[in-house]
Structure formats: C-alpha cells, structure tokens
Structure 1
Amino acid sequence: MMGVKQAIKKLDAFPRAEEHLLQKTRSGAIVSIIGMLIMATLFLHELRYYLSTYTVHQMSVDLKRGETLPIHINMTFPSLPCDVLSVDAIDMSGKHEVDLDTNIWKLRLSRDGHIIGTEYLSDLVEKEHSDKHDDDKDHHEDPNLKSHLQTFDQESESMVKKVKHAMANGEGCRVYGVLDVQRVAGNFHISVHGLNIFVAQMIFEGANHVNVSHVIHDLSFGPKYPGIQNPLDGTVRILQQTGGTFKYYIKIVPTEYRYIWKEVLPTNQFSVTEYFSPVKEFDRTWPAVYFLYDLSPITVTIKEERRSFLHFVTRLSAVLGGTFALTGMLDRWMYRLLEAVMKSKTRSVFS
C-alpha cells in the first residue's frame, strides 16, 4: 500500500519548493511587474490578432451575363476648356453606348483650379458623329479637304470666341461621374471630337496644338473593397512641347469580395498598359485620351475569414505560459546573483 502511495507522489507535476525559495524579495517583485506587463501586452496583441480578419483568394470561370459594367471617372484636363471636351463610349461591335444611363459632369476650372461652372452630360453622343467610328482614325480628318462643306455661321463664330477667351484665361475642365456600359470589350475616350471640324480648326489651328494633358484622380470599374489598388489613381501626364494621343489598355478582372458580416460586393480590379503616340506633321487624327478595356474570363473571389477560437486559446496559452516560465527563470538567476554578491561581501568583512 505504501509503495502505491509513493508511486503516485512521484507523478506530482507540482512539487513543493524549498522553504528559502518562497521568500518574497524586491528583485522578485520587479521581475513580476515586468512579467505582468509583458503578458498583458502579448494578450492584447493575440486578442487583436484573433479579432482581425484575413482574406482567401479563389478563382473560377466568370458566368455573369447581361450585366452592365460601371466605369467611375474623375479626371482633370488643365489645358482644355469644358466647351471643347466630349466623352464618347463604344463597344466592340461599334455600337455607341447612348441608350444606357449616363451620369457625367463637367466642371469648369480657373487657372488656379477653382470651380467656376458646371455642365451635365445627358448622353454620350458626339456632335455630328458618324456611326462608323474608327478608334484610331476618327472623323477629324484634314480640315482643308472638308472646309468647303462647312458653314461658319454666327453660332460657330461665337463658340470660337468663347473658347479662345477661356483658353486665354487658362481654363481647365474636370470630368467626373459614372458610365454604365455593356459588359463586353470596348473603349471610351475624352477628346475634342465633339466639335465641328471647321470650328476645331479655327480654335486650335491644327491638331498639334490640342493639349490633352491630364490628371487621373480616380478610375475604377466598380465599388472599392479593402486592400484594392487601382493602378491609374493619381496618374499625372503633362505635355510641354509636343501634342499626342494617350491610350490606356486595360484588362479588367471581375471580382467578388465576400465580407464576414455583410453582403457580397461585386466589383472589378484591373491592370493597365500605357501607350503615347505623338502628333505627326501630316497626321489626320486629333489628340485624345483613350481607355480601351477588355474583360478577363476568370473571376476572383476574395473571402474574409476569421481564426478559430481554439487557435486563439492555443496561442494565448503558449505565449502566457512561456512568459511565466521565462520570468521565473529570470527571478531565480537574479536571486542567485544577489545571494553570491552578499556572500562575497560577508567574506570580505570577516577577512
């Protein structure tokens, strides 16, 4: 019977410490305070880590059909007045996106960038624009070949004077709003193509004087989600000497962001390649800023997930237990060090 009791005692994982190790010391109090501060800090860190979310990315074939693609635009043209700027959208079949809801505003800007007027665009039809539109070679051909077909009436003359006065005052234009286009490949561009050809020639005296310098404040294809980076936001392209056409080739990736506690957010992310074509001496095309987009057949699903409670308990136990063990070792080392110092002082006194 005694043998069994002795065997059970040997299994005790919490043996009683010797009497001299149970003494409360000042060094032990300091180590205890430091240990509690460390454990409290690590506990808060682990709690914040547990409550935070992380994302998991999944890919699948895009099965969406019959939906529209929202294009959010916010751009500034510091060298062109609003009267000469037009917005045009066209899909891969050549059809103009004029039958969809459009919400585009143009803000007149002073030389200092202050707003001095607004204009709302009800649709995207370019004035006197042919249905047979070519993206690279638009209807602004050599005005000398067509000028005899145009009539320079009083309205056109007034337009020329108004625009020249605005350009002399350094007016710019900010274009912002949302285009809802069909969910197929296409392009939209901002240019002076909406002007009468003869009027455009009278204003600029040639395509090389059309300065399409621009700042892209925001360009996106849907609502933003946590962590998204739109590569064109903050883009600044200022032309000093030569004019030309900017083309941004955009690859759109359909994306779904799945929150833990909210509804699924359908949106899009994209990559972009930029190309600039300077105006040549006998070039028939007029400068513009094109955004040519295509959609990826793959959709990306980003899911928010949270770590399990058992995972949190496991990490917390390891952190707190490790800190307690480390402070205990530190306390023993400090006690032995102080004890050795005191013994050496005692010996030196008696010697």
Structure 2
Amino acid sequence: MVSSTKLKSVDFYRKIPRDLTEASLSGAGLSIVAALFMVFLFGMVLSSYLEVNTTTSVIVDKSTDGDFLRIDFNISFPALSCEFASVDVSDVLGTNRLNITKTIRKFPIDPNLRSTGAEFHSGLTLHLINHGEETKEEFPDGAIPLTSGSFESFTHHFPILVVNFNAPWCYWSNRLKPSWEKAANIIKQKYDPETDGRVLLANVDCTEEPALCKRNHIQGYPSIRIFRKGSDLREDHGHHEHESYYGDRDTESIVKMVDGLVAPIHPETHKVALGGISNDTLKNLKKAPVTGGCRVEGYVRVKKVPGNLVISAHSGAHSFDSSQMNMSHVVSHLSFGRMISSRLLTDMKRLLPYLGQSHDRLDGKAFINQHEFGANVTIEHYLQIVKTEVTTRRSGQEHSIIEEYEYTAHSSVAQTYYLPVAKFHFELSPMQILITEDPKSFSHFITNLCAIIGGVFTVAGILDSIFHNTLRLIKKVELGKNI
C-alpha cells in the first residue's frame, strides 16, 4: 500500500499555516471586487449557454412532407351566392378538379360579411338534370308573366307561387321553356286559379325586371323559386323566405313537384293539412338564400407545382351574366402547409423573429370591385411560396422542429371577356430557407466557468501582490529618508 506520506507528496495545493499568513484591508477589498466580478461573468456565461446560436442558409428544397401541399383558406364574397360558388384547382401538369365539395364549407352572408344562415350544402346541384326531349313544338303560354308591381300581390294571393326567373339569351332558360309552359298549362287545368287557387306558375324576365331579380338574389338563369303565402315573411329583413328547386326540368318532374307542394293544402280553406310535403318533393327543394353573399372556407391539397386556386360561379345547368357578376372578396385567412399551433409558437418564443413574418400576407385584406355591377372584372393574386424549416442539433444529429410555408403576394384587377373569377396563382420556390439551431454543450459551459473562476482568482492575486509590494516599497523609501 502507498503510504500517506507518499500520497501527500502529489498534493498540488500545499497549505501554509494560518499563523504565517497576514490579512490586509486591501486584500479584503480586492477579494470582494473579484467575487462580484466572478458572479457577473457567471451570469453572462449562463445567459450565453441558455441562448441558441442560429444560422440561416438557403438550400435546395428537401421537403419531408410529401409531394402534396395543403392550402387552408377562409374567403368571404359579398356578391357571390352559395348556390353557385365553386372551388376549382388546376396545375401545369394537367390536373383540373372542378367544384370541390368534400373539404369545403359554404355559409351565406350579408353585405357586411355576417352569417345569415346555416351551412349551405350543394350536393343536390351536382347530379345531371333531365330537361326532357328537345322539341320545336310551340306551347301556349301557361305561366303568368310577373313584374315588380304585380309580384307582391301574387305572392300574397296564392298559397304556392312557383316562379321561373329566366333570361331570353340564356341557353338553359330556353331549354326549360317548353317543359315549363307545358307544365304550367297542366297545373292550370288541375288547379284552376279561379276555382281552386292553391298554386300558380309564373315567369320573371330578369332582363326586363333586374331589380326584382336582384332583390331575390338571382345570379344564375334559370332559377326556380317556390314562394309560400304568409308564413314566409321575415320581420327582421322584410324579405320572404322561400325555396329553390334543383330537380329535373322535364314536364313530368315539374308537375310532380307542384303536386307534392299542393297536396297538403286544403282546396277550400287553403290551410295546410297534416302530413306535410312528401319526401320525394322535399329532396329536390332547398331553402333559397336570403342574401347574395357567401363565405367559403376549408382546404384543398395540391401538387407542389405551379397551379391555380379559382373561386367562381359554376353550374352545369345555369347561365350567368358576366357583366353582373361581382367577385369582390375579403381574405380572412390563407396559408400553405401544416398550420403551426399557437401553443408551439408560445413555447418556442425564440423562433418568432424567424417565423410568422410573411405566412399571412393576405389575411384581413379586402379586394373590392368598385363598379356598380361586375363589369367583367377578375381579381387575381400571384403568390410566391417559400418553405422555411427550423432544425436543431442534438447528440450530433439534426432534428426538424417546425416546417412552414411563407409567401409573398401581388394582386391585380383585370377585365375579362369570360366569366369573372377570383384566382390565386401559386408557385413554389425550388429553394428553401433552413434555420439551424446550435445549442452549446454543457462541457463548453463548464470550461468557461472554470476559466472565469481561475482567471479572476489569478488576476486578482497578481493585482493584490503588485499593490502589496508597492506599499512595502513606499514604506522602505520613507524609512530610508528618515534615517
């Protein structure tokens, strides 16, 4: 065994007996200053250790989230009806998806962007509508033409008023006309307006009565509306709540629909009988919009190639007057990629200077067409998208913390000969911004801490020695002079 004497010989810190040392006021003061300086430097080193060094670089996009990009949006159109609002997606590879509904929700709104009803479901408008066989046979007009002056009196006189809002130039209105007039004559014979008085079929020419059509929020031709006497008056808006018919447009289907509406009404008292309207009739009816606006929200998934997100009026059985379409809109939200939760950003406040600066360029902005009607104005947005990724190095390996897509936006308004739309052109950059966090190692922190303690202690000792020897020299000089 090694003796204690030999073990003591390797002591780096040999002790001097306390009786052989002498304390001084200057040494005490210097020790206090040195201790305070050590504390100050310790705080700076600790702060530096807790901070994370961040480096930013631009590299070729190495996306880990697949070949598709998610686009989330919430856009309000004060003058586009939910009946016809359609979300379409296309790209340079030839992908062309029309009237996406699975991930889209539509809510009717008023001109002040306030919701006026429940979610609008457009599923009934998607199936192919039967117009019957085309014929050149002329039928006597059975439907009554209505004007702004006569419209209110007819809606208050007949328990059921079925109105065809049309335009003479419209192809679909002309396709409907033979079936409609033939059905009107059949209904007139079955339910005579003079003796029965339960139902009447009528026409409104929207080129002659634009104000009447606008008041009933007619944006596509033809639109078949069902008005009910008395029970449909809305006190808060002064409008009549009514339904739209989305079923087949052949004579047989129209007559069957009217029969279903009239069946529950007693022919003498005009009171609604028990039982109500049949399910076959109800499936083709939907509450008509009480306002002409729509809020479109949801998301779509697109390929990571240049493409377009288009919102417009679309229907396979209606025509639109492009000069009357107004595509003004307010963007409440538009973002690309996975959303960053507010909790994550709160927990990682250090990332705020690098993130969230340009992922909401259009949020809260309004794009208003100032023309009285539409004037064939298309509003387009050009979006350049860049991916930003934040990674951290732990145990020598990189780990991704956050991935988000930021974009720049440039908007323009242009007149078009076609149907006006709201179009969002998007293009992803082949490069991405990589932000790398390099946390300091604990060994680096300990090394700096030891350097502070040893360095300050040594420098303070040197200063104390210089100060002490200087005082001794001064005292010797004074003694020499006195001798």
TM-score, reference length from structure 2: 0.45
**1:301 to 1:36, Cα distance in 2 relative to 1, 3 A:** closer
In the alignment, which residue of structure 2 is the partner of 1:87? 87
**1:212 to 1:231, Cα distance in 2 relative to 1, 3 A:** same
The Cα offsets for residues 45-90 of structure 1, whole Å up to 9 and x where unpaired, read as 23422xx463543513659898222222232334444333210111
| Counterpart mapping for 1:224-239 below 5 A | 224=340, 226=351, 227-228=355-356, 229-239=358-368
* 2:86–2:100 contact (8 Å) kept in structure 1: no
Partners in 2 of 1:100 and 1:212 — Cα distance? Answer: 21
* 3-state SS of 1:54 partner: strand
In the alignment, which residue of structure 1 is the partner of 2:407? 271
**1:207 to 1:94, Cα distance in 2 relative to 1, 3 A:** farther
Partners in 2 of 1:105 and 1:320 — Cα distance? Answer: 65
Q: Does 1:218 align with 2:222?
A: no
* Equivalenced residues, count: 286
* 2:390–2:400 contact (8 Å) kept in structure 1: yes
Q: Give the letter aligned to residue 50 of structure 2.
A: R
Q: Give the letter aligned to residue 213 of structure 1.
A: H
In the alignment, which residue of structure 2 is the partner of 1:48? 50
| Counterpart mapping for 1:18-57 below 5 A | 19-22=23-26, 38=40, 41-42=43-44, 44-49=46-51, 52=52, 54-57=54-57
| Counterpart mapping for 1:61-140 below 5 A | 67-97=67-97, 102-109=102-109, 111=112, 113-114=114-115, 116-119=117-120
Partners in 2 of 1:291 and 1:126 — Cα distance? Answer: 28
- Shift, 1:250, TM fit: 2.4
Structure 1 stretches of 5 or more lacking a match? 1-11, 129-141, 333-351
In the alignment, which residue of structure 2 is the partner of 1:287? 420
TM-score, reference length from structure 1: 0.59
In the alignment, which residue of structure 1 is the partner of 2:190? none
**1:53 to 1:90, Cα distance in 2 relative to 1, 3 A:** same
The Cα offsets for residues 140-165 of structure 1, whole Å up to 9 and x where unpaired, read as xx9947466553769822249934x3
In the alignment, which residue of structure 2 is the partner of 1:162? 288
Q: Give the letter aligned to residue 291 of structure 2.
A: A
* 2:46–2:445 contact (8 Å) kept in structure 1: no
* 3-state SS of 1:118 partner: coil
* 2:334–2:360 contact (8 Å) kept in structure 1: no
In the alignment, which residue of structure 1 is the partner of 2:429? 296
- Shift, 1:290, TM fit: 0.9
* 3-state SS of 2:328 partner: coil
Partners in 2 of 1:316 and 1:287 — Cα distance? Answer: 68
* 3-state SS of 1:45 partner: helix
**1:84 to 1:100, Cα distance in 2 relative to 1, 3 A:** closer
- Shift, 1:277, TM fit: 2.1
The Cα offsets for residues 13-51 of structure 1, whole Å up to 9 and x where unpaired, read as xxx9974425868x997x7897687457535523422xx
**1:23 to 1:296, Cα distance in 2 relative to 1, 3 A:** closer
Structure 2 stretches of 5 or more lacking a match? 1-12, 14-19, 130-166, 181-200, 202-221, 226-243, 246-286, 346-350, 465-483
Partners in 2 of 1:21 and 1:89 — Cα distance? Answer: 83
Candidates 358, 380, 390, aligned match of 1:247: 380
* 3-state SS of 1:191 partner: strand
**1:189 to 1:34, Cα distance in 2 relative to 1, 3 A:** same
Candidates 312, 318, 323, aligned match of 1:191: 312
Q: Percent identity?
A: 22
Structure 1, 66-75 or 306-315: larger mean CA deviation = 306-315
The higher radius of gyration belongs to 2
Partners in 2 of 1:94 and 1:18 — Cα distance? Answer: 92
